Amino acid sequence: MSATSVATGASAAGTAVSIENFAYAPATIAVKTGASVTWTNNDEEPHTVTFEDGQARSPVLSPPNVTFTYTFTHAGTFTCHCSIHAYMTGTVAVTDG
pLDDT, tens digit, for every residue of 23-70?
Answer: 999 999 999 999 999 999 999 999 999 999 888 999 999 988 999 999
At residue 44, the pLDDT reads 95
The pTM of the full predicted model, rounded to 2 decimals, is 0.85
Burial (CB < 10 A; 0-12, 13-18, 19+), residue 97, is exposed
- Indicate the residue type of 87: Y
CATH of 4-95, picked from 2.60.40.420, 3.20.20.190, 3.30.465.10, 3.40.50.2300, is: 2.60.40.420
Distance of alpha carbon 18 from alpha carbon 2, whole angstroms = 21
Q: pLDDT tens, 64-75? A: 899 999 999 999
DSSP 67-84: EEEEE--S-EEEEEE-SS
**Lowest-confidence segment of 10-19, 53-62, 64-73, 79-88 by average pLDDT:** 10-19
